[in-house]
Structure 1
Amino acid sequence: MIARIWRGWAPPATADEYQRHYASEVAGHLSQVPGFRGARLLRSPDGDLVLFTSITYFEDMSAVRSFAGVSFDRAVVEEAARRVLTRWDEHVTHHEVVVNLGLAGPEPV
Protein backbone atom coordinates (compact mmCIF):
# COMPACT_ATOMS: atom_id res chain seq x y z
CA MET A 1 0.00 0.00 0.00
CA ILE A 2 1.18 3.54 -0.79
CA ALA A 3 0.60 6.61 1.39
CA ARG A 4 0.46 9.90 -0.53
CA ILE A 5 1.14 12.92 1.72
CA TRP A 6 0.34 16.55 0.96
CA ARG A 7 0.01 19.77 3.01
CA GLY A 8 -2.01 22.94 2.60
CA TRP A 9 -2.51 26.03 4.78
CA ALA A 10 -5.66 28.07 5.30
CA PRO A 11 -6.51 31.12 7.38
CA PRO A 12 -8.78 30.29 10.33
CA ALA A 13 -11.66 32.08 8.56
CA THR A 14 -11.70 29.54 5.71
CA ALA A 15 -10.28 26.43 7.40
CA ASP A 16 -13.69 24.90 8.09
CA GLU A 17 -14.65 25.47 4.46
CA TYR A 18 -11.59 23.53 3.29
CA GLN A 19 -12.38 20.74 5.73
CA ARG A 20 -15.94 20.50 4.35
CA HIS A 21 -14.57 20.51 0.78
CA TYR A 22 -12.25 17.61 1.61
CA ALA A 23 -15.00 15.62 3.35
CA SER A 24 -17.40 16.03 0.44
CA GLU A 25 -15.84 16.77 -2.96
CA VAL A 26 -12.41 15.22 -2.41
CA ALA A 27 -13.94 12.16 -0.74
CA GLY A 28 -16.42 11.74 -3.58
CA HIS A 29 -13.71 11.99 -6.22
CA LEU A 30 -11.32 9.62 -4.43
CA SER A 31 -13.99 7.00 -3.87
CA GLN A 32 -14.25 6.63 -7.66
CA VAL A 33 -10.52 5.91 -8.13
CA PRO A 34 -9.69 2.22 -8.64
CA GLY A 35 -7.23 1.13 -5.94
CA PHE A 36 -8.11 3.93 -3.49
CA ARG A 37 -7.87 2.51 0.05
CA GLY A 38 -8.73 5.42 2.34
CA ALA A 39 -7.73 8.88 3.51
CA ARG A 40 -7.07 10.94 6.60
CA LEU A 41 -7.13 14.72 6.89
CA LEU A 42 -5.10 16.07 9.80
CA ARG A 43 -5.55 19.61 11.14
CA SER A 44 -3.29 21.66 13.41
CA PRO A 45 -2.52 25.30 14.17
CA ASP A 46 0.59 26.65 12.44
CA GLY A 47 1.27 30.22 13.51
CA ASP A 48 -1.56 32.40 12.20
CA LEU A 49 -2.73 29.67 9.82
CA VAL A 50 -4.28 26.23 10.00
CA LEU A 51 -2.17 23.41 8.57
CA PHE A 52 -3.93 20.52 6.86
CA THR A 53 -2.05 17.32 6.13
CA SER A 54 -3.76 14.93 3.75
CA ILE A 55 -2.74 11.28 3.76
CA THR A 56 -4.38 9.22 1.06
CA TYR A 57 -3.85 5.50 0.69
CA PHE A 58 -3.68 3.62 -2.59
CA GLU A 59 -3.21 -0.05 -3.38
CA ASP A 60 -0.07 0.63 -5.45
CA MET A 61 1.63 3.25 -7.64
CA SER A 62 -0.59 2.29 -10.56
CA ALA A 63 -3.59 3.41 -8.52
CA VAL A 64 -1.77 6.65 -7.61
CA ARG A 65 -1.21 7.30 -11.32
CA SER A 66 -4.89 6.68 -12.08
CA PHE A 67 -5.69 9.46 -9.59
CA ALA A 68 -2.87 11.93 -10.27
CA GLY A 69 -1.89 11.20 -13.85
CA VAL A 70 1.55 11.01 -15.43
CA SER A 71 3.00 13.72 -13.16
CA PHE A 72 1.99 11.74 -10.09
CA ASP A 73 4.35 13.67 -7.81
CA ARG A 74 2.48 16.93 -8.49
CA ALA A 75 -0.26 17.95 -6.08
CA VAL A 76 -3.87 17.72 -7.24
CA VAL A 77 -5.47 20.90 -5.85
CA GLU A 78 -8.96 21.65 -7.12
CA GLU A 79 -10.07 25.23 -7.80
CA ALA A 80 -12.44 25.20 -4.80
CA ALA A 81 -9.49 24.37 -2.53
CA ARG A 82 -7.30 27.04 -4.12
CA ARG A 83 -9.92 29.67 -3.22
CA VAL A 84 -9.78 28.91 0.51
CA LEU A 85 -6.16 27.89 1.02
CA THR A 86 -3.39 30.47 1.40
CA ARG A 87 -0.68 28.13 0.14
CA TRP A 88 -0.04 24.46 -0.49
CA ASP A 89 2.69 22.01 -1.40
CA GLU A 90 3.09 21.82 -5.16
CA HIS A 91 4.54 18.32 -4.83
CA VAL A 92 3.52 15.33 -2.75
CA THR A 93 5.53 12.53 -1.23
CA HIS A 94 4.82 8.83 -1.58
CA HIS A 95 5.70 6.24 1.04
CA GLU A 96 5.32 2.49 1.13
CA VAL A 97 3.23 1.45 4.14
CA VAL A 98 5.36 -1.21 5.82
CA VAL A 99 3.46 -1.57 9.11
CA ASN A 100 -0.27 -0.92 9.46
CA LEU A 101 -1.45 -1.21 13.05
CA GLY A 102 -4.89 0.22 12.34
CA LEU A 103 -6.70 3.03 14.11
CA ALA A 104 -9.62 3.11 16.49
CA GLY A 105 -12.65 5.05 15.32
CA PRO A 106 -14.28 5.52 11.94
CA GLU A 107 -12.92 3.80 8.88
CA PRO A 108 -11.01 5.93 6.32
CA VAL A 109 -13.05 8.00 3.93
Structure 2
Amino acid sequence: MMIARIWHGKTRVEDYEVYTEFLQKTAIPDYSKTVGFIKLSFLRNIKNNEGHFTLITYWENLEVIKNFAGQDFEKAKYYPEDDAFLLEFEETVEHFEVFS
Protein backbone atom coordinates (compact mmCIF):
# COMPACT_ATOMS: atom_id res chain seq x y z
CA MET A 1 0.00 0.00 0.00
CA MET A 2 1.30 3.45 -0.91
CA ILE A 3 2.50 5.60 2.02
CA ALA A 4 2.30 9.39 2.32
CA ARG A 5 5.02 11.10 4.38
CA ILE A 6 4.19 14.61 5.62
CA TRP A 7 6.69 17.21 6.85
CA HIS A 8 6.17 20.81 7.95
CA GLY A 9 8.66 23.65 8.28
CA LYS A 10 8.51 27.40 8.69
CA THR A 11 10.73 30.32 7.76
CA ARG A 12 10.83 34.04 8.23
CA VAL A 13 8.64 35.71 5.63
CA GLU A 14 11.80 37.36 4.22
CA ASP A 15 13.19 33.89 3.38
CA TYR A 16 9.97 32.57 1.81
CA GLU A 17 10.99 32.86 -1.85
CA VAL A 18 14.65 31.93 -1.33
CA TYR A 19 13.70 28.80 0.60
CA THR A 20 11.23 27.89 -2.13
CA GLU A 21 14.05 28.11 -4.68
CA PHE A 22 16.28 25.95 -2.49
CA LEU A 23 13.58 23.29 -2.23
CA GLN A 24 13.08 23.28 -6.00
CA LYS A 25 16.80 23.02 -6.76
CA THR A 26 17.93 20.65 -3.98
CA ALA A 27 15.17 18.83 -2.12
CA ILE A 28 12.88 17.90 -4.99
CA PRO A 29 15.66 16.31 -7.10
CA ASP A 30 16.92 14.47 -3.99
CA TYR A 31 13.52 12.93 -3.33
CA SER A 32 12.96 12.17 -7.00
CA LYS A 33 16.12 10.09 -7.40
CA THR A 34 15.19 7.68 -4.58
CA VAL A 35 13.99 4.27 -5.77
CA GLY A 36 10.40 3.74 -4.64
CA PHE A 37 9.52 7.44 -4.65
CA ILE A 38 6.24 8.06 -6.50
CA LYS A 39 5.48 11.79 -6.39
CA LEU A 40 5.32 14.82 -4.14
CA SER A 41 3.31 17.93 -3.43
CA PHE A 42 5.01 20.96 -1.90
CA LEU A 43 2.53 23.38 -0.34
CA ARG A 44 3.30 26.82 1.00
CA ASN A 45 1.54 29.80 2.53
CA ILE A 46 2.20 32.82 4.70
CA LYS A 47 0.47 32.86 8.07
CA ASN A 48 1.19 35.08 11.09
CA ASN A 49 4.06 36.70 9.18
CA GLU A 50 5.86 33.35 8.74
CA GLY A 51 6.36 31.19 5.67
CA HIS A 52 4.90 27.72 6.13
CA PHE A 53 5.90 24.75 4.00
CA THR A 54 4.19 21.38 3.95
CA LEU A 55 5.73 18.55 1.97
CA ILE A 56 3.70 15.47 1.12
CA THR A 57 5.73 12.70 -0.51
CA TYR A 58 4.30 9.43 -1.77
CA TRP A 59 6.24 6.18 -1.58
CA GLU A 60 5.69 2.57 -2.59
CA ASN A 61 5.99 1.34 1.02
CA LEU A 62 7.75 1.95 4.34
CA GLU A 63 10.85 0.03 3.26
CA VAL A 64 11.62 2.50 0.46
CA ILE A 65 11.09 5.40 2.87
CA LYS A 66 13.85 3.85 5.00
CA ASN A 67 16.12 3.98 1.93
CA PHE A 68 15.59 7.75 1.89
CA ALA A 69 15.26 8.63 5.57
CA GLY A 70 17.16 5.83 7.33
CA GLN A 71 15.97 3.14 9.71
CA ASP A 72 14.46 5.72 12.06
CA PHE A 73 12.08 6.68 9.26
CA GLU A 74 9.77 8.74 11.49
CA LYS A 75 12.59 11.22 12.14
CA ALA A 76 12.52 14.29 9.90
CA LYS A 77 15.34 14.60 7.37
CA TYR A 78 17.03 17.98 7.03
CA TYR A 79 19.64 19.46 4.72
CA PRO A 80 22.63 21.46 6.02
CA GLU A 81 21.23 24.55 4.24
CA ASP A 82 18.05 24.36 6.35
CA ASP A 83 19.99 25.90 9.24
CA ALA A 84 19.96 29.23 7.39
CA PHE A 85 16.21 29.22 6.78
CA LEU A 86 14.10 27.22 9.20
CA LEU A 87 12.84 28.78 12.44
CA GLU A 88 12.53 25.41 14.16
CA PHE A 89 13.24 21.78 13.42
CA GLU A 90 10.32 19.47 14.01
CA GLU A 91 11.77 16.13 15.06
CA THR A 92 9.30 13.82 13.37
CA VAL A 93 7.12 13.50 10.31
CA GLU A 94 3.77 11.77 9.91
CA HIS A 95 3.01 8.72 7.78
CA PHE A 96 -0.35 7.68 6.39
CA GLU A 97 -1.53 4.77 4.28
CA VAL A 98 -3.03 6.08 1.05
CA PHE A 99 -6.20 4.15 0.34
CA SER A 100 -7.71 6.29 -2.42
Give the TM-score range, shorter chain.
over 0.9
How much does 1:15 deviate? 1.1
Map 1:44-59 → 2, pairs under 5 A:
44-59=45-60
In structure 1, the gaps of 5 or more residues are 100-109
Query: Aligned with 1:71: secondary structure?
Result: coil
How much does 1:76 deviate? 0.4
Distance 2:89 2:42 in 1: 14
**Match of residue 97 from structure 2:** 96
**Match of residue 85 from structure 1:** 86
Distance 1:76 1:60 in 2: 17
In structure 2, the gaps of 5 or more residues are none
Distance 2:40 2:19 in 1: 15
Q: How many residues align?
A: 99
TM-score (norm 2): 0.93
Residue by residue over 1:11-60, the C-alpha shift from the partner in whole angstroms, topping out at 9 and shown as x without a partner, is 11111111111111111111221100111111112212111101011111
TM-score (norm 1): 0.86
Distance 1:86 1:32 in 2: 27
User: Mean Cα displacement is larger for which, 69-78 or 40-49?
Assistant: 40-49
Distance 2:51 2:72 in 1: 27
Query: Aligned with 1:87: secondary structure?
Result: coil
Map 1:1-109 → 2, pairs under 5 A:
1-99=2-100
When the two chains are superposed, the root-mean-square deviation of aligned CA atoms in Å is 1.0
Distance 2:37 2:45 in 1: 25
